[in-house]
Structure 1
């Protein structure tokens, strides 16, 4: 009997050991057993994600899921016509309008490279009022859907309570997913795009720098580390936020939370909720964020949160605690220079981590984060254009922009493939002069034009003079022009008698970075030309000119106006005698929409306003006026009608930018020893005081 009991015990023991072996238990000695129980939540999450991937997500690449043959006409984007019975949220309307106004938009479906749905896919939470039901039936009926090939789908919210997994509720197939809260586990490398989560109130247009964006930001602010937000007493996303009270010290670290969210928060509250809610009310959110050097960005129910964009807007360095989150536009933005990413399980190390960062490093990170906000996140328009540019670079791999193009001013949205952002405004040692001739009758030796060309040619900095001959008068013979040095090339180009004064100029290939434009009747000396060029070399990102004007806002008519009055302040300089970087010429040609360029061809002086607004938009600095001793003889602002036309042009550009980028200045550059009793022979620019240059 005892023998049978021993056999049974041996059999049971063997069976137990076999069970432990296959179920994950480990026996490590006669007296010690280390048990590693399976994580059922991880198994459930992995299973759900696996089902989600197999059901909705092909592991696409550009080579396997994108049809490049559709892009033979270039990178053109087509938006489907809207469906009457499907409403669009305000945010999705902003997205579509941004596409409509982009240089890539096309109404011709046959030349489309990329397709965008007119069906609102932003909110795919079934509990949301904005959730579009039966969306798959609408999408499958689209003529060009083809399993999502060459389509891009925008999404801000996916999944719902209690799991919040990335289920959009329809098969996205081969479509590129531009999604907020993008997870590493579902992101398709070099195919999907991670975008930021933004509020419904996020502006459609914009780009003006915030008050926090300044070179005079303090090294450290009032609080070292700040956070104010919801905490969840149950469910996903609750671990980190429920532990924040441990690091809150009411002095340099402020981390306050509230349980007041949701309809049944009182039923679910814990013993700390009342005290937390009271402490939460002590702090104003905006004041806290603006006065904190670092701001915690823990995950919420989803991986991403509104706080990420909010803190970089207010100049607070984000400390991101959201494991597995692919940061917005991470493939082109170097977030290591603007944010701190930590493990959300190591919350208590965050205070020591930020204290170890030097003030200089913190200052640089804050400046970089503000720059990135300004360039890529300050409006829906910029988010959409950044998304399209990322996709376009995958399509056009021959001339991709470098990391410096994306992460340095003025940014990739305004950096053409031919320019390096770090060397964008490098001054050149020579300039190209462009002279527009509309009505001058050329008289050898005595006409304004003859003297102008002669004075330009005597400059040691000029390398080429381009005469744009629009005059009905006969062109002079080559021998009739002034004799110029061997270093100067003179070229006369006959152009049609059209209303645009600089249309051809903007399409010409300029051999130098510096372009010095003149009108035919300008009276200017060689000394003034050389002095203006030396000023430009010191400020090569700005437009430097002699004649100026300003702008003002009319509250009654809610419009911007140009004023021709001579004021102490100015915001524009005119191109009748001005020098500027050829980069702005390229932007005019390739970046602006065709209707804006058409406006420039119809309104005299409109191109002056456009170029000044482009330069101020990029540099966020005013132009520079060079002091002259007289009227140059060709100021555009003589008539009320011309002023009104320029004002109309300004308002058109303001709608395009979303704000008026022009900045006023009182700076006037004047050569040293301009008017004094010192002998003229000792002066650098001797001919500036001469009566007749």
Structure 2
């Protein structure tokens, strides 16, 4: 009896010790540190699909391994309100002065300077600027750091910009200066003040850039489930039978397909596992371009442009110590979610990261947003998913000799969709003192004496749709009504009547364009075209000043420039609709074979489109063979059954 009691007591004590041992170690491993102090980094955005990872702990819940790097010297506690004097930005506008480079500079550094000087924010006067920019060059020899500028003033209203790792990334006390650098650590990054940049390769293009590599627009994932970033710069792929720890070197038991891809050659994988080391930050851009969903394993660097980009829609942040849960969750993720994440990687790559110029301009736009606030954005930035209203504004450009196109005004006023008629008066001759009475409001706007003034975002325009016209346009009410109905189905594209087409001239080795009737077109003339007024904002505030100047010097170039802009945004061609009248349809003065153009003038005239290509860095125009007609257009039925009868009148 006593022997049985001794055995029972021994078993109970053993079970108790076993429970204690099994319970203490996980608790020690998952111990939650105290709350971070005020002013410290608040960690990464939480993943939207958290319900799939119920056992996940967020990265902020784990103490960092190893010693912590020191905080930023000087202005480590800087905030936007405390360390930037926005009152120096007159009228709420950002003006940037770039310190001239000291000593010899490389071609890459010179091109970056030219890109900043070509932006709408640049000024050559330091007194006029409210932001002084110091560009760090990676080309200086080691030990020859950038000297402190004379106007440093403790770094107040300064931006230290480093696109590439420099020999002296922090050559002096930063003080109150903002820092825009690649892969900043989460401990030194000052949220809301500094700007996190992507780590760019040395050969990253200045403008143009390569498109995203995702070609599969269905929920079907890549051939391989995982691609693991390797320390030597390559990628290692693993199939769906990978082990639970594919990133820690213990995958010898995996019998699935494996393959190593050197350099920037990224396989068609669904997820890209990127360790949190700073040296792996370059893999992040490679994954975005390839449409491979980045899975960041306890990253120790701030994600680029995290102030304005919601990375939960394109990437996954996980803790590298929870390998089993990570792999299981990736395998069970719904295909619709996979497609949404991969599509967002392509958008972010094209919008922010494909060129050096986009990275620079995004940085300046972030600072401009801090100065002006969200209220300075046009309304369509804030109303996601809303459809355009059912009205349009007719914007008629009048230049010399300065006469009101009465017939055109009456045709616009007769449209059931016309909300207002705006006459942009750009003639030296004063406008008539009395305006004709029309069924819709008629307003005269005193416009600038240059052709680019046609595309200024005038406050008088109160509709989404704009019908751009000039005084020589000839349109009927039916043509306008049908074109507007078409535009309502494609509000992001241009819808017009007259078309041009671009081509590559093998003999001259350059681009050209023509107005000859053909089976293809890539541009519509802005003398009669519908488009969203958002493009007026882009035309005025996003295009380089050099392209404005070119359009003003060669007026026909403004049509090319507007089509370039819309095509660069949408990646789509314009839409052509039919017209019954000829609208003065002639070849453009800059097109080959155009009337009134001497043969010896053609090479210089064709330089317009080539300068546009150089300014954009690539040819954005997309050709189309599509024309949209009414359903019964020219069908052998009674005219009484047709809605747009005047379209078929000779």
Range of TM-score over shorter length? 0.7 to 0.9
Match of 1:460 among 384, 391, 416: 416
Counterparts of 1:57-68 in structure 2, within 5 Å, are 58-68=76-86
Question: Is the Cα–Cα contact under 8 Å of residues 606 and 646 in structure 1 kept in the other structure?
Answer: no
Counterparts of 1:496-507 in structure 2, within 5 Å, are 498=449, 500-501=450-451, 503=453, 506=456
Instruction: Say whether 1:489 aligns with 2:489.
Output: no
Match of 1:83 among 102, 119, 122: 102
Provide the C-alpha distance between the structure 2 equivalents of 1:159 and 1:517, rounded to a whole number of angstroms: 49
Hey, what does 1:226 align to over in structure 2? 227
Hey, what does 1:45 align to over in structure 2? 67
SS at 1:246's partner residue? coil
Provide the C-alpha distance between the structure 2 equivalents of 1:43 and 1:537, rounded to a whole number of angstroms: 56
Provide the C-alpha distance between the structure 2 equivalents of 1:520 and 1:305, rounded to a whole number of angstroms: 55
Provide the C-alpha distance between the structure 1 equivalents of 2:169 and 2:410, rounded to a whole number of angstroms: 72
SS at 1:569's partner residue? coil
**Which of structures 1 and 2 has the bigger CA Rg?**
1
Counterparts of 1:277-296 in structure 2, within 5 Å, are 280=260, 283=261, 289-296=266-273
Question: Is the Cα–Cα contact under 8 Å of residues 273 and 294 in structure 2 kept in the other structure?
Answer: yes
Instruction: Say whether 1:114 aligns with 2:121.
Output: no
Question: Is the Cα–Cα contact under 8 Å of residues 624 and 668 in structure 1 kept in the other structure?
Answer: yes
Provide the C-alpha distance between the structure 2 equivalents of 1:208 and 1:169, rounded to a whole number of angstroms: 34
Q: Map Cα deviations across residues 395-419 of structure 1 (whole Å, 9 max, x no partner).
A: 333637xxxxxxxxxxxxxxx4443
Counterparts of 1:267-346 in structure 2, within 5 Å, are 280=260, 283=261, 289-300=266-277, 302=278, 304-346=280-322
Provide the C-alpha distance between the structure 2 equivalents of 1:559 and 1:625, rounded to a whole number of angstroms: 26
Q: Map Cα deviations across residues 496-538 of structure 1 (whole Å, 9 max, x no partner).
A: 8x5x446256353312221112333433322111111111111
Counterparts of 1:194-593 in structure 2, within 5 Å, are 194-206=196-208, 209-212=211-214, 216-230=217-231, 243-246=248-251, 249=254, 251=256, 254=258, 280=260, 283=261, 289-300=266-277, 302=278, 304-397=280-373, 399=375, 416-420=377-381, 423=384, 426-438=387-399, 449-468=405-424, 478=434, 481=436, 484-485=438-439, 488-492=440-444, 498=449, 500-501=450-451, 503=453, 506=456, 508=458, 509-593=460-544
Provide the C-alpha distance between the structure 2 equivalents of 1:119 and 1:442, rounded to a whole number of angstroms: 55
Provide the C-alpha distance between the structure 1 equivalents of 2:623 and 2:491, rounded to a whole number of angstroms: 18
SS at 2:227's partner residue? strand
Aligned residue pair count: 572
Hey, what does 2:54 align to over in structure 1? none
Hey, what does 2:150 align to over in structure 1? 143
- TM-score relative to the length of structure 1: 0.74
Distance 1:374 1:56, change over 3 A: same
Instruction: Say whether 1:133 aligns with 2:143.
Output: yes
1:438 Cα deviation from its structure 2 partner: 4.7
Match of 2:570 among 602, 616, 619: 619
1:285 Cα deviation from its structure 2 partner: 5.8
Distance 1:484 1:189, change over 3 A: closer
- TM-score relative to the length of structure 2: 0.79
Provide the C-alpha distance between the structure 2 equivalents of 1:476 and 1:159, rounded to a whole number of angstroms: 62
Provide the C-alpha distance between the structure 1 equivalents of 2:520 and 2:547, rounded to a whole number of angstroms: 27
Q: Map Cα deviations across residues 271-313 of structure 1 (whole Å, 9 max, x no partner).
A: xxxxxxxxx4xx46666x341111111134x265211000110
- Structure 2 residues not aligned, in runs of 5+: 1-19, 29-62, 234-244, 589-593
Instruction: Say whether 1:678 aligns with 2:637.
Output: yes
Provide the C-alpha distance between the structure 2 equivalents of 1:42 and 1:206, rounded to a whole number of angstroms: 40
Provide the C-alpha distance between the structure 1 equivalents of 2:537 and 2:196, rounded to a whole number of angstroms: 30
Provide the C-alpha distance between the structure 1 equivalents of 2:522 and 2:166, rounded to a whole number of angstroms: 50
Question: Is the Cα–Cα contact under 8 Å of residues 78 and 115 in structure 1 kept in the other structure?
Answer: yes
Hey, what does 1:667 align to over in structure 2? 626
Question: Is the Cα–Cα contact under 8 Å of residues 468 and 495 in structure 1 kept in the other structure?
Answer: yes
Structure 1 vs Structure 2 CA RMSD: 3.5
Q: Map Cα deviations across residues 529-569 of structure 1 (whole Å, 9 max, x no partner).
A: 11111111111111111100011223454432111221111
